[in-house]
Structure 1
Amino acid sequence: MTRAARRGVRRATRLALLGALAGTTLATLAAPGPSAAAPDRDSTDALYLVTLDGPGTSGAGASGETRMRAEQDRLMTSVGAPAPVYRWTTALNGFAVPLTRSQADRLAADPRVALVERNTVRRLAAGAPAPAAARTSRRTTGGRGVVVGLVDSGIDPEGPLFAAVPRLGRPAVGFDGACEGGEAAPECTGKLVGARWYVAGFGADAVRSAAHLSALDDDGHGTQMAAIAAGNAGVDARVRDVRLGRYSGAAPQARLAVYKACWTAPDPRADGCAAADLVAAVDQAVRDGVDVLNLSVDGPSHIDTVELALLGAAEADVVVVAAAGNDGSAAHPSPWVTTVGGTLGERPRGTVDLPGGPGLHGAMVSGRRSPVAPLVLGARAGTRDARPGDARRCLPGSLDAAAVAGRIVVCDRGGVGRVDKSEAVALAGGVGMVLANVRRGSTDADFHRVPTVHLDRPAAASLERWLARHPGARVALRPAGVARTPARVAGWSGAGDPATGVVKPDLVAPAVGVLGAVPPRSDGARWDFVTGTSAATAAVSGAAAVLRSRHDWTAVQTRSALATTAAPVRRTSVQRAGAGLLRPAAAGRPGLVHSLDPARYRAWWQDRRTRLNTPSAVLRRGERSTTRTVTNVGRRTFYFSSTVRGFSRRHAWVTPAALRLAPGETGTYTVHATGRGSDDGHVVWRGAGGTTTRVPVLLR
């Protein structure tokens, strides 16, 4: 069945009245729920997420929507609950409703209920500190006819990156989204084919006063993710004097549907995405008919309501891609999600040229060098009224133009944003800035108002000692190219837990200083860097869209191709890197893919002993083998031979060692292991046609 036909069946299924509600009770199998963190029992209402037993209309054997709503009403009536804030019937069968703790406990004990959780707010998976890298893409095609759904902070679609252009090609078949109204609501453009927003879980009265109650992006994160995943090709990227080249998203011909569920608050520490809004957004995205769903949002390391909504998306043949998170522990631990970790990458460099002395190297993104000019410490260039500490850190308004004009200023890090410091230097007439770390920390290449080199603490200390010996010396700041290092997983990228029985993350992708479009800044800039597993996730979502446009693969097969064609990450465990580093071009020729019926995912959630034909494997304590089935998705009959790589403490091997498969033919292999202790490695299948399929394996 073709992808278009599957989408038609999927839509018909959503609207049909199907069989009876599945009967197996899941409540006792749910991960730790919100009750452990709930307040003391009282009469205060809080918003709870209630999931009923059985799938939404996207899953096999679901009840019809009318029956679901009737059952939801009976449950709410049974505990005297008020009207729900949200109802969900597509990705899952459930609702969000204000309840007392007592009412929530009574619903949790009902055999018709699978899970009850208190509404929580989680963070976008961006913002981990790290240096930037000015990467652009030459890709001009990919993603035609596919809709990428992004659950995020909305979008600002102004500009050529999200315009309807002729090269987009055929429209998506079967997509039923819309651009909703609201305050300055974005309009559908042909490139942007859907824009909806959800705020009831976060609370409209809790958003920042300048935020828009519409799908318009107030944060910038959603616009960046949309650009990385599916921004148009050939767009000139420029910030003031810095020309960054021609920009393209990973799937430039894909359409975009955005679902705003992440909001800014008066206190930035309260920014985030309410679980109720996330579930509502996922439910609607599945109902609309997206092909790929991107969720660059953090989450717990257990299966919760959001994860169950993503299960419904997977049951609807949607490729679900989510961020592993930036706190060291992998979010989205379920086998139906492609969970993406992040790697460090190349870094743009700059040099402080000292006459008669060694050059000092730091981070710099600039298209021009500074003039040769006197160097002055910010601490010695303050206004008469400025506190010494403010001038030392170049806070806005603290610098004396008479002392700064025509000079390069050394500014200590801290107090205000890095770019705010170069703005202060520029307003005082300075021609360059050296940003100096005062303690250990990252060095970051930002879009500054004047040429800037960011030095780490040792280099900054050397500069200060040199300046003390050479007062009034003239220096220059110049770009020094890009520092390229082998890919390695970022220390903050979420790592998996083998105890779950699932390899996470599935793969990793560049996550440091990734370029993307943003809503207009105060200085007019429309581009910025983003760091975090959110950026890596958007790149993988774009790669998934390209595969879906070029192959009649199911979502499960697409996920397999993305992971098993990843490149090795040296000296990195499977728990940190999964299958390895994303290779979009190789993913189009995976040789072999691992397939399964998405209904098996729900069976696995009901009973963790259920075996899944995933493109990875975990052998638990006492297990000596595990079996997988693969399909040749190439066009010719080939031999595929296996090798085992990476295991250092235990012996592992594969039977049979080779497979001969015709196009579309399946074969079975078994991974065996002996010995004791934990270990990890990969089973590598090489096809006679030049393909490589890498399957990560964890031995517990």
Structure 2
Amino acid sequence: MTPAGRPAGRPVGRSASGAVAVLVALASAVLGLAATPTVQAAPLSPAGQSSEGTALHLVTLRGPGLAGAALAGDTTGVLGSVRLLAQQERALALVGDPAPVYRWTTALNGFAVRLTPAQAAILADDPAVAMVERNSVRPLASLPTSAAAAGARNSGRGGAGVVIGIVDSGLDPTGPLFARSTQLGARPRDFAGACEDGEGSPVCTGKVLGARWYVEGFGADDLRATARLSAHDDDGHGTQMASIAAGNAGVDVRVHDQRLGRFSGEAPQARLAIYKACWNAPEPRDDGCATADLVTAVDDATRDGVDVLNLSVGGPARIDTVDLALLGAAEADVVVIAAAGNDGGGAAHPAPWVTTVGGTVGSQRRGDVVLPGAPDVQGAMVASRHVGPARLVLAARAKAPDATAREARVCTPGSLDAAAVDGRIVVCDRGGVGRVDKSAAVDLADGVGMILTNVRPGSVDVDFHRVPTVHLDRASGRAVKRWLATRPRGSATLAPRSSARVSRAVTRFSGAGDPASGVLKPDLVAPAVGVLGAVPPRPSGVRWDFVTGTSAAAATTSGAAAALLSRHDWSAVETRSALTTSTGRLRRAPATRVGSGLLLPQDATRPGLAYLLDAGDYRAWWEGDLRVLNTPSVILGPGAAVATRTLTNTTGRRLYFSSRARGFEHRVRVTPAALRLGPGESAAWTMTVTGRGPRLDDGWVVWRGATGTITRVAVAISR
């Protein structure tokens, strides 16, 4: 992209550029209008509401930004920017020339501006305007950690020469995960981002090549008092996502006195570019990411030249302005990865140009409570060392003199008598105070371990406790208490299991697709429960934590995409095809919950076949062209019985490929049943559905190559 395009995407209210003023003046001259003044914007609330009765709106004009214009062969560079800004000035003139807060020219053509309801209606009725939306705040796609946790990651290479853009809550760059490393390889030459440090020390480290931040949509006056106006991470979520996607390899995971192995991001040799668009408010329920800030971050990331763009942010189950910005990124050949969301409803980011990622339970760190004369009881345990045999004591029976029985039962800090706890494993009930606070109370009273028991149905959770801990569900907790009631001086052992249990079950919170949409979502799923990642230093000194949510699944997939790009000279479309056609099957889960299946990064390195399309086809589809997109998935709605896709041989050899329809209750026939394709050669196949079946049926069309490659396309049939 040309340097002249860069200033047009920056916030007008915060750091107006002389270049953007010149371009706006040129655009105004084209129209014969006075240049719009770039003045400081009035303070906004998180929803963009000002005291003047206006609200911040996102206005997208028809047609592409500069990224899409380059695909179409239209004018780009300075003249292209002037052309787009002239269109923006024409739209602004219809409503009295208000000063925009942001302008966008790369990923899309539009602006964010404060409007009255009447002004918004005028622009919505303008044929030149594609969409008008009010600014809103979206949640990060993470939840309180539940179930058990994945262990430290252990891959050592992947992602060299690739830049992953992380649109999130910023980054804490301190520590070895984000340090400059000789393993990173040469600096990518095409990345043009900058480091805008704002308040605090620099974020860029050599591993981190770019850092920008955006707050006008959220509102600087609505931030938590401790928030920093910089790309530094005040929340921890952005640091976790960056570490999961691309943290350096071989970093020791140490928490308190426990060593939990070595950690590596999915693409440890990749570089990072940070786009902070998510903020903390005084009330945690108001935390999130304003859509105006998100769109500006995507616009800048596209202009900067990231290779992969990660958006671990929820959203509506419809295509909105954020998704239109992601369309522009896809047109610039960026691999776009986004989270499916965590409300258990419709999947966020339903556009076909986004690889939307849902969540599975994944690996689970487990531990046993070993009770002599009784079956072992299993629960969630993150500690790596055994404890015991040691005497068990119910917390309620180890009450400090000045504590109440209830305070002791739930292990409130200060409620336990050290004389009764010293050297023992304490059984604490859940509730009342935080889980980690309970183990701190046990540690303070010189206990050596804790058994945390649910007293009602609920999750079992992993945390970095002050003493080794096994968290049990209600039934298991009752079993331990019954055993202890008959052996009041009994001893037990807390024993971590040598291997983690892997579950391919989809989580209940993961967003599901709409079979009537014509686009299968999510595209795939990845582990989303208790995924380990780095966080900014906590008051306790801990720099690691677990995250649960489709945010973690998206970050893992972004790292996998970066690793593929570093190994192959692939386009974003080919990378997306490889990720989604090489997945693992999940039984008893509909395609509208899991898409093509479980991410298998190693299998994606040799897909054999690819489903390719021109990136310009996405915009044509969005604008109403009825052409069939050659996506690596199929949905057949009511009345439809035939679907066609085109595959391309990517092996570099002339090979024979055979097909098979699997998993359907309808009769599904694939023609031709087999193909012989030379290197780079393409051919179409057709599936025909007949017979009776359930209202919603799904399965796969599987193509197997002569060298053992397997390429699967997920199919949903809605009747």
Mapping of residues 380-419 of structure 1, within 5 Å? 380-419=397-436
* 1:123-144 Cα shifts (integer Å, max 9, x gaps): 1111154323342333222111
Whether the aligned pair in 1 keeps the contact of 2:48 and 2:219 (CA below 8 Å) is no
Whether the aligned pair in 1 keeps the contact of 2:217 and 2:290 (CA below 8 Å) is yes
Q: Name which of structure 1's ranges 533-542 and 81-90 shifts more when overlaid on structure 2.
A: 81-90
**CA displacement at 1:558 relative to structure 2:** 0.7
* 1:583-631 Cα shifts (integer Å, max 9, x gaps): 1111111111011111111111111633101111112222221211111
SS at match of 2:131: strand
One of 273, 278, 284 as aligned partner of 2:289:
273
Q: After TM superposition, which residue ranges in structure 1, 4 or more long, deviate above 6 angstroms?
A: 7-12
Partner of 1:340: 357
One of 298, 318, 322 as aligned partner of 2:338:
322
One of 664, 670, 673 as aligned partner of 1:657:
673
**CA displacement at 1:478 relative to structure 2:** 2.3
Instruction: Give the letter aligned to residue 673 of structure 1.
Output: V
SS at match of 1:500: coil
One of 61, 64, 78 as aligned partner of 1:55:
64
Whether the aligned pair in 2 keeps the contact of 1:241 and 1:368 (CA below 8 Å) is no
- Change in 2 beyond 3 A, CA 1:8/1:560: farther
SS at match of 2:85: helix
Whether the aligned pair in 2 keeps the contact of 1:382 and 1:391 (CA below 8 Å) is yes
One of 213, 232, 251 as aligned partner of 1:216:
232
* 1:6-49 Cα shifts (integer Å, max 9, x gaps): x999999x99x9xx9xxxxxxxxxxxxxxxxx999x97221111
Mapping of residues 27-106 of structure 1, within 5 Å? 44-60=53-69, 61=72, 64-80=80-96, 82-106=98-122
Partner of 1:30: none
Q: Structure 2: how far apart are the matches of 1:188 and 1:582?
A: 30
- Change in 2 beyond 3 A, CA 1:167/1:43: closer
Q: Normalising by structure 2, what TM-score?
A: 0.89
SS at match of 1:58: helix
Q: Structure 1: how far apart are the matches of 2:493 and 2:708?
A: 50
SS at match of 1:458: helix
Q: Structure 1: how far apart are the matches of 2:328 and 2:303?
A: 10
Q: Structure 1: how far apart are the matches of 2:613 and 2:373?
A: 67
Whether the aligned pair in 1 keeps the contact of 2:162 and 2:270 (CA below 8 Å) is yes
Partner of 1:187: 203
Instruction: Give the letter aligned to residue 622 of structure 1.
Output: G
Q: Name which of structure 1's ranges 354-363 and 597-606 shifts more when overlaid on structure 2.
A: 354-363
Root mean square deviation of aligned Cα: 2.4
Q: Structure 2: how far apart are the matches of 1:248 and 1:218?
A: 23
Whether the aligned pair in 2 keeps the contact of 1:10 and 1:316 (CA below 8 Å) is no
Q: Structure 2: how far apart are the matches of 1:247 and 1:679?
A: 40
Mapping of residues 355-370 of structure 1, within 5 Å? 355-370=372-387
SS at match of 1:180: coil
Partner of 1:163: 179
Q: Structure 2: how far apart are the matches of 1:293 and 1:39?
A: 26
Unaligned runs of 5+ in 2: 10-22, 28-46
**CA displacement at 1:455 relative to structure 2:** 0.8
SS at match of 1:59: helix
Q: Structure 1: how far apart are the matches of 2:490 and 2:176?
A: 45
Whether the aligned pair in 2 keeps the contact of 1:230 and 1:542 (CA below 8 Å) is yes
Partner of 2:18: none
Q: State whether structure 2 residue 99 is matched by structure 1 residue 114.
A: no
Whether the aligned pair in 1 keeps the contact of 2:339 and 2:554 (CA below 8 Å) is yes
Whether the aligned pair in 1 keeps the contact of 2:48 and 2:136 (CA below 8 Å) is no
Q: Structure 2: how far apart are the matches of 1:82 and 1:9?
A: 26
Q: State whether structure 2 residue 590 is matched by structure 1 residue 581.
A: no
Q: State whether structure 2 residue 676 is matched by structure 1 residue 693.
A: no
One of 473, 489, 493 as aligned partner of 2:490:
473
Instruction: Give the letter aligned to residue 149 of structure 2.
Output: A
Q: Structure 2: how far apart are the matches of 1:180 and 1:681?
A: 48
Whether the aligned pair in 2 keeps the contact of 1:10 and 1:58 (CA below 8 Å) is no
Q: Structure 1: how far apart are the matches of 2:469 and 2:668?
A: 52
Q: State whether structure 2 residue 369 is matched by structure 1 residue 352.
A: yes
Q: Structure 2: how far apart are the matches of 1:371 and 1:480?
A: 15
- Change in 2 beyond 3 A, CA 1:109/1:11: closer
SS at match of 1:137: coil
**CA displacement at 1:436 relative to structure 2:** 1.0
Whether the aligned pair in 2 keeps the contact of 1:43 and 1:101 (CA below 8 Å) is no
**CA displacement at 1:472 relative to structure 2:** 4.0
Q: Structure 2: how far apart are the matches of 1:285 and 1:562?
A: 22
Q: Structure 2: how far apart are the matches of 1:10 and 1:587?
A: 38
Q: State whether structure 2 residue 559 is matched by structure 1 residue 542.
A: yes
- Change in 2 beyond 3 A, CA 1:80/1:386: farther
Partner of 2:31: none
Q: Structure 2: how far apart are the matches of 1:252 and 1:425?
A: 38
How many residue pairs match? The answer is 671
One of 630, 635, 644 as aligned partner of 2:652:
635
Whether the aligned pair in 1 keeps the contact of 2:411 and 2:428 (CA below 8 Å) is yes
Partner of 2:535: 518
Instruction: Give the letter aligned to residue 124 of structure 1.
Output: L
Partner of 1:684: 702
**CA displacement at 1:485 relative to structure 2:** 4.2
**CA displacement at 1:290 relative to structure 2:** 0.2
Q: Structure 1: how far apart are the matches of 2:567 and 2:712?
A: 22
Q: Structure 2: how far apart are the matches of 1:389 and 1:186?
A: 48
SS at match of 2:602: helix
Whether the aligned pair in 2 keeps the contact of 1:364 and 1:452 (CA below 8 Å) is yes
Q: State whether structure 2 residue 406 is matched by structure 1 residue 428.
A: no
* 1:349-399 Cα shifts (integer Å, max 9, x gaps): 222233443332211111222244333333333444434333322223333
Q: Structure 1: how far apart are the matches of 2:512 and 2:235?
A: 27
Partner of 1:143: 159
SS at match of 1:218: coil
Q: Structure 2: how far apart are the matches of 1:640 and 1:8?
A: 44
Q: Name which of structure 1's ranges 340-349 and 592-601 shifts more when overlaid on structure 2.
A: 340-349
Q: Name which of structure 1's ranges 352-361 and 318-327 shifts more when overlaid on structure 2.
A: 352-361
- Change in 2 beyond 3 A, CA 1:502/1:148: same
Instruction: Give the letter aligned to residue 181 of structure 2.
Output: V
* 1:460-498 Cα shifts (integer Å, max 9, x gaps): 122223333333433332223345244121122111111
SS at match of 1:433: strand
SS at match of 2:387: coil
- Change in 2 beyond 3 A, CA 1:50/1:390: farther
Q: Structure 2: how far apart are the matches of 1:610 and 1:128?
A: 42
Q: Structure 2: how far apart are the matches of 1:446 and 1:128?
A: 11
SS at match of 1:499: coil
Q: Normalising by structure 1, what TM-score?
A: 0.92
Q: Structure 1: how far apart are the matches of 2:193 and 2:680?
A: 34
Whether the aligned pair in 2 keeps the contact of 1:11 and 1:174 (CA below 8 Å) is no
Whether the aligned pair in 2 keeps the contact of 1:364 and 1:454 (CA below 8 Å) is yes
Q: Structure 2: how far apart are the matches of 1:345 and 1:39?
A: 38
Q: State whether structure 2 residue 610 is matched by structure 1 residue 593.
A: yes
Q: State whether structure 2 residue 221 is matched by structure 1 residue 205.
A: yes
Whether the aligned pair in 1 keeps the contact of 2:266 and 2:560 (CA below 8 Å) is yes
Partner of 1:153: 169
* 1:48-81 Cα shifts (integer Å, max 9, x gaps): 1111111111103466212222322232232135
